Amino acid sequence: MTPEIWVAIGAVFLGLAIVAGGLAMSAVRGPWDAVAIGARVAALVALIVALIASAIGQDQWTAAAPQQAMLSLVVAMLAVHLVLAWRLGACSAGPMVDLVALVLGLVGVFAIEAGAPGLGCVQQSSLFQAHLVLFSLGGGSVLVAGSAGLMLALKKGLVWLGRDLRLPGWIPLYALLTQATLLAVVALGAGLIIGVWWAWQTVGLLAAGNPRDAWMAVAWLTTAMSLVAWQLDGRRSRWAAGLALVAAAAVFVGLLFPVDLSLVGI
C-alpha cells in the first residue's frame, strides 16, 4: 500500500486516541486511558510503515525529502512521548500530542510533495544519515516538550475558568516537559557535532553551508534556554514552556522549509 493509505490509517487511530483521551479527561466511565494508549501505539506502527513505504518509493531514506522529514518527525514525536509517558507512570500530554501528530502527518503526506533532490555520494554516508536521524529524534522531542507546554497552558486556563477536568497533574507535566527538553538538547547537540565532523571530513570546513544545520543550532540553543529557565526565580514553567514552543517552531522550519538565515540578516 502507498504511504498515503498508511497515513490515513494512522490518522484514524490518532483520531480514536484523541476521542478516548477526551473522554478520559471528562471522567466518563470506561477504559479510555487504555484505549488511547493502544490507539497511539497502533498509529505509531502505521506511520512507521508509511515512512518505510515512502523511503522504498524514493529508493532511499533521507530527511532531506520534505515528506520523509515530516513523517520522521511525527514518528519520533510519538515514540518519544510513549517512552517518556511510560517512564513517568503513564502520565502524558495525551490528546495534545495526538492532535499535533494527526495534523503534521496529514500535512506531510497530502500537502507536501514526496520528491527531493538526489543525494550525492558524500551525503549518503553513515555520518550524514546519522546526523539527520538525530535531528529527527531531537525535533520529535522538542515537539513533545511543546505539547506538554500547551497542555500546561490548557490546564491553567481551565483552572482559571473553574472547569474541572481530569488532566495530568502539574508535577508529571513539568517532568514530561523537562525530560523531553533534556532529550532534545542531547539529540540535537549530538546531531550538530556529527554534522560539523562530516563537514570537516568532506569540505574541510566547520559548516557545509546547509541552512537546516543553522536552524537546528537555533533550536538547540532555544531548547537549552528552556532547560536553564527552570533556574529562574519566578514564572519558571512559563518561560520553559514558551521557549520549548519557540524551539518547536525552529525545528519545523528547519526540517521542512530551511530558509537560509543569512538572507534574513541572522
Read off the pLDDT of residues 53-86 as tens digits, 9 standing for 90 and up.
Answer: 888 877 777 666 777 888 888 999 999 999 998 8
On whether the CB atoms of residues 121 and 64 are closer than 8 A, the answer is no
Residue with cell 494527526: 102
- CB atoms inside a 10 Å sphere around CB 101: 28
Cβ neighbours of residue 128 under 8 Å, at least 6 residues apart? Answer: 119, 122, 198
Average pLDDT, the chain: 81
pLDDT at position 12: 93
pLDDT at position 170: 77
Q: And the C-alpha cell for 87?
A: 517512564
Of the candidates 139, 155, 1, the residue with the CA atom closest to the CA atom of residue 79? 139
Classify 209 in phi/psi space as left (phi over 0), alpha (psi -120 to 50) or beta. Answer: left
pLDDT at 263 over 50: no
Weakest-pLDDT range from 110-119, 148-157, 224-233: 110-119
On whether the CB atoms of residues 22 and 30 are closer than 8 A, the answer is no
Cβ neighbours of residue 263 under 8 Å, at least 6 residues apart? Answer: none
Q: And the C-alpha cell for 106?
A: 496529514
CA distances for 223 relative to 17, 85, 210, 216, 262, angstroms: 28, 20, 20, 10, 21
CA-CA distance, 34 to 32, in Å (whole number)? 5
* Average pLDDT rounded to a whole number, residues 188-207: 77
Reported as a pLDDT band with limits 50, 70 and 90, residue 112 is low
